[in-house]
Amino acid sequence: MKRADRISSLVIIGISAFFMVEAKTFSPLSGLFPRVAIFLLGGLSLLLFILTFVRRDSGETFDSASFRHIPSLISLLLMIVWGILIPVLGFLVTSLIFFPLITLYLDRDAPGKKKLSRIAIVEVLAITFYLFFTQVLYVPFPEGLLL
Amino acid sequence: MIIDALQLLFTPWNMLFITLGVGAGILVGALPGLTATMAIALLVPFTFSMNAVHSLVLLGGIYSGAIYGGSFSAILINTPGTPSAIATTFDGYAMARKGESYAAIITATIASVIGGLIGVFFLIFLAPPLSRAALKFGPPEFFWLTVFGLTIIATLASKSILKGLIGGAFGLLLSVIGIAPIEGSVRYSFGSISMQNGIALIPAMIGLFCIPEVIGMIAKKDTHYNVIPYKREKKLIRRIFFRLMKKPFLLIRSAVIGTVVGIIPGAGGNIAGMVAYNEAVRVSKFPKRFGTGIIDGVAASEASNNAEVSGSLIPMLTLGIPGAPPAAVLLGALLLQGLRPGPYLFTSHGEITYSFLFSLILANILILPLGLISGKAMSKLITGIPVTILAPFVFLLSVIGSFAINNNMADVYIMLIFGIIGFIGRKAGFSAGPIVLGLILGSICEQGLVQSILMGRAKGSAIGVFFQRPISIVMIILTVVSAFWPLIVKIKNNWRHKVEKG
């Protein structure tokens, strides 16, 4: 974790510096608490950075035991695209597209019949939740080009 | 008056409304992002045409049920259904990972019922003096309360205290985003109007807890969520009940903490749960076992957050000051029914008021059967659904939960950004708990600090404002003891070893 600690502490120090520069425009009392938080964050991150040179390394760069990186990153990407497209296509349409898409991607090695039954299940789930929230709880989900 | 109230309460309609309230509350609480506040707010317009007792027992049932229901998703998918269940994730989810999800739910159910009943006891018998004490909390007391709260980080940081402190400071920094409470500067909004309101806690919490969990499900090669599936055990309820009965101090202490935190306006069930969990760790003979999946952690958090329900109603009923957001919405329902909070509520409208208070006893008792039945079904369901369906389904719920709070897409984006932060943070060894704690306490801490400085300027002595008020002194002592507790324990153990060696 030594390298991960070094990278994360440098990133956090960078964030602290950025927030500090921005804090200069605040009025005295509005800027007081942000400065306290920035000093705490920056100071503690600096301590973590220094400790990476002092402590012994545990070996791993990141905590990655039995972790499949590619499926998880592709799924994360699909989820982000799902979220971004909601205002464009609408909540229902994006859910009907991306929910089965992720299931299909994760089930890519499954037999065809199983895939079909799972797609049917997730589509029914998406529609049920959509109807429950819009018709019972009156949550106005975003509508898009189609619905 | 008490007999009249009981007669008013024990009608078939009231029983039906309490049951419906608790059941609906559990369902709402179990869905991440849907809170007790939202459920009560949605139902208040429907209760307008009902009679006062029907309306209040229904809403009281929802409040109690929702706070308890938050434990389901906290235990089963490591995502607190409501902010009150944050501390339940620490041991509840660890139990689920060991295949003990139903045992964790039984613990949460029994602890919630006991905590809730203790809270109602305080509400019925000690409401007026406790409310007067709560009014003595000014800005310096709130400041020290949050500083005390921040000492919990040492408990929440599972692997490294330093990383926990960094997470806490990061949460504090994120809490300043938006318009400053004093002087009104717009801070770190980056030109976005949505960001001027600050970062909403619930989307951030869903993102930090839920998204890394979803990615974790996908990343592992298991076809089903828990490595060890749900285990059917005989006499499990009885066994856990007797185990919990052997820990009366844990339950009573947590419930008292929940009630006291609930009384203080602005401090909600989330803080209550975390403080109670921290105290359970501190007092335990085996503090290192917390976080590995033991019933003590689940019981502390759940007894506390359900006691907080009654605690938050104490200042609401006696002074008209709600102790927590759901109590604020309940206050609206009370006023809609023509009931004005204050001492007269217990005299002129005593029958209705006491009916409502007694209904909370019934609501807490009803949590037991309803919770155990639905908990068993949920445990089986979650561990039985293939990951390929469960992972995107949990994401769908996260989107719905984040959006439904303010009907705003910006909250969904906040959830996604915090999801990425949580995922990277988890990989680098930073846990979500301290970040959320910093985010919760940051705004209360800032307001307390700045207002205290202004009070100090007006009085000519900041030291007097910060260090000479009686409650502040108690809070400072508690903070020092809590911060140095690990050191005190170490010294105590060393001394004991020396004595044993002779």
> DSSP letters along B394-433, please?
HHHHHHHHHHHHHT-HHHHHHHHHHHHHHHHHHHTT--HH
ipTM over 0.95: no
In the prediction, which pLDDT does B339 show? Answer: 82
Rg (CA), chain B: 22
Closest of B446, B441, B444, B480 to residue B149, by C-alpha: B441
pLDDT tens track for B429-443: 898 888 988 988 898
Are A125 and A72 contained in the same domain?
Answer: yes
For the cut 90, the answer to whether the pLDDT of residue B454 exceeds it is yes
CB contact under 8 A, A102 and B393: no
Q: How far is CA B72 from CA B204, B375, B417, in A?
A: 19, 7, 25
* Encoded amino acid at B464, one letter: G
Residues in A closer than 8 angstroms to B165, CB to CB, are: 40, 44
Q: Which domain range does residue A111 map to?
A: 68-136
Q: Is residue A143 part of a domain?
A: no
Contact assessment for residue A105 and residue A74, using Cβ atoms and an 8 Å cutoff: yes
Contact assessment for residue A113 and residue A129, using Cβ atoms and an 8 Å cutoff: no
Better-predicted residue by pLDDT, B213 or B417: B417
| CB-facing half-sphere around the CA of A32: CA atoms within 13 A | 18
Closest of A134, A99, A43 to residue B172, by C-alpha: A43
Look up the pTM and report it: 0.83
For the cut 60, the answer to whether the pLDDT of residue B103 exceeds it is yes
Residues in A closer than 8 angstroms to B195, CB to CB, are: none
Residue B173 burial by Cβ neighbours in a 10 Å radius (0-12, 13-18, 19+):
buried
Q: Is residue A119 part of a domain?
A: yes
Q: Whose structure tokens read 């029907």?
A: B54
Are A10 and A35 contained in the same domain?
Answer: yes
* Cβ neighbours of residue B246 closer than 8 Å, sequence gap 6 or more: none
Are A73 and A132 contained in the same domain?
Answer: yes
* Encoded amino acid at B423, one letter: F
CB contact under 8 A, B215 and A75: yes
In the prediction, which pLDDT does B33 show? Answer: 66
Residue of B396, B418, B423, B426 best to disrupt the A interface, most CBs of A under 10 A: B396
For the cut 70, the answer to whether the pLDDT of residue B123 exceeds it is yes
Better-predicted residue by pLDDT, B301 or B462: B301
Looking at every residue in chain B, the average pLDDT score rounds to 85
In the prediction, which pLDDT does A62 show? Answer: 55
Chain B: closest CA distance from residue A127 (Å)? 11
Are A73 and A127 contained in the same domain?
Answer: yes
Are A31 and A10 contained in the same domain?
Answer: yes
Ramachandran category for residue B50: left, alpha or beta (phi over 0 → left; psi -120 to 50 → alpha): beta
* Cβ neighbours of residue A101 closer than 8 Å, sequence gap 6 or more: A78
In whole angstroms, give the CA distance from residue A15 to residue B162: 18
What percentage of chain B carries pLDDT values higher than 70?
96
Contact assessment for residue B211 and residue B416, using Cβ atoms and an 8 Å cutoff: yes
Q: Terminal CA-to-CA distance of chain B, rounded, Å?
A: 65
Q: Is residue A141 part of a domain?
A: no
For the cut 90, the answer to whether the pLDDT of residue B176 exceeds it is yes
In whole angstroms, give the CA distance from residue B406 to residue B313: 25
Better-predicted residue by pLDDT, A106 or B298: B298
Q: Is A144 on the interface with B (CB under 8 A)?
A: no
Q: Is residue A81 part of a domain?
A: yes
Q: How far is CA B317 from CA B128, B285, B333, B390, B461, in A?
A: 9, 39, 12, 42, 36
Last residue of a domain, one of A12, A28, A56: A56
Q: Is residue A142 part of a domain?
A: no
Model confidence band, residue A57 (pLDDT cutoffs 50, 70, 90):
low
Centroid of chain to Cα B22: 17
In the prediction, which pLDDT does B229 show? Answer: 57
Residues in B closer than 8 angstroms to A125, CB to CB, are: 389, 393, 396
Q: Which residues pair with B179 in a beta bridge?
A: B186
User: Please, which residues 49-78 of chain A have a Cβ atom closer than 8 Å to chain B?
Assistant: 51, 62-64, 66-69, 71-72, 75-76
Among B113-117, B188-192, B220-224, the minimum mean pLDDT is found in B220-224
Are A52 and A80 contained in the same domain?
Answer: no
Are A85 and A125 contained in the same domain?
Answer: yes
For the cut 70, the answer to whether the pLDDT of residue B502 exceeds it is no
- What are the backbone dihedrals phi and psi of residue B224, each rounded to the nearest 5 degrees, phi first? -120, 160
Q: Directed axis angle between helix B269-283 and helix B248-263, to 10°?
A: 150
Chain B: closest CA distance from residue A22 (Å)? 7
Residue of A11, A30, A38 best to disrupt the B interface, most CBs of B under 10 A: A30
In whole angstroms, give the CA distance from residue B188 to residue B142: 25
Q: Whose structure tokens read 């020092």?
A: B480
In the prediction, which pLDDT does B243 show? Answer: 92
For the cut 60, the answer to whether the pLDDT of residue B259 exceeds it is yes
Longest CA–CA span in chain A (Å) reads 66
Work out whether the CA dihedral B307, B255, B208, B191 comes out positive or negative. Answer: positive
For the cut 60, the answer to whether the pLDDT of residue B227 exceeds it is no
Contact assessment for residue B63 and residue B14, using Cβ atoms and an 8 Å cutoff: no
Overall number of domains in chain A: 2
Looking at every residue in chain A, the average pLDDT score rounds to 87
**Which of B185, B404, B420 shows the shortest C-beta gap to A133?**
B404
* Nearest C-alpha in B relative to A39: B169
- DSSP per position, B306-368: HHHHHHHHHHHHHHS--SSHHHHHHHHHHHHTT---SGGGGTTTHHHHHHHHHHHHHHHHHHH
Q: Is A134 on the interface with B (CB under 8 A)?
A: no
pLDDT tens track for B480-499: 888 887 777 778 778 888 88
Chain B: closest CA distance from residue A61 (Å)? 8
Model confidence band, residue B221 (pLDDT cutoffs 50, 70, 90):
low
Are A48 and A89 contained in the same domain?
Answer: no
Task: Please state, as a whole number, how many other Cβ atoms lie within 10 Å of the Cβ of residue A140.
Answer: 11
Q: Is A33 on the interface with B (CB under 8 A)?
A: yes
Are A121 and A93 contained in the same domain?
Answer: yes
Centroid of chain to Cα B116: 13
| CB-facing half-sphere around the CA of B445: CA atoms within 13 A | 27
In the prediction, which pLDDT does B49 show? Answer: 78
Contact assessment for residue B279 and residue B157, using Cβ atoms and an 8 Å cutoff: no
CB contact under 8 A, B396 and A125: yes
Q: Is residue A145 part of a domain?
A: no
**Which of A28, A41, A47 shows the shortest C-beta gap to B162?**
A47
Are A74 and A129 contained in the same domain?
Answer: yes
B339: its two tokens: 């009931």
**Which of B188, B445, B449 shows the shortest C-beta gap to A22?**
B188
Residue A87 burial by Cβ neighbours in a 10 Å radius (0-12, 13-18, 19+):
middle
Last residue of a domain, one of A10, A36, A56: A56
Residues in A closer than 8 angstroms to B180, CB to CB, are: 26-27, 29-30
Q: Is residue A47 part of a domain?
A: yes
Q: Which residues pair with B224 in a beta bridge?
A: B386
* Encoded amino acid at B422, one letter: G
Residues in B closer than 8 angstroms to A58, CB to CB, are: none
Q: How far is CA B350 from CA B195, B341, B356, B392, B417, in A?
A: 45, 11, 10, 50, 50
Contact assessment for residue A114 and residue B400, using Cβ atoms and an 8 Å cutoff: no
In whole angstroms, give the CA distance from residue B124 to residue B131: 12
Residues in A closer than 8 angstroms to B172, CB to CB, are: 33, 36-37, 40-41
For the cut 80, the answer to whether the pLDDT of residue A120 exceeds it is yes
Are A132 and A84 contained in the same domain?
Answer: yes
Last residue of a domain, one of A10, A28, A56: A56
CB contact under 8 A, B182 and A102: no
* Cβ neighbours of residue B136 closer than 8 Å, sequence gap 6 or more: B471
Are A79 and A51 contained in the same domain?
Answer: no
Q: Is A87 on the interface with B (CB under 8 A)?
A: yes
* Nearest C-alpha in B relative to A33: B446
Going along B95-197, which residue ranges are E strands? 178-179, 186-187
Q: Is residue A124 part of a domain?
A: yes
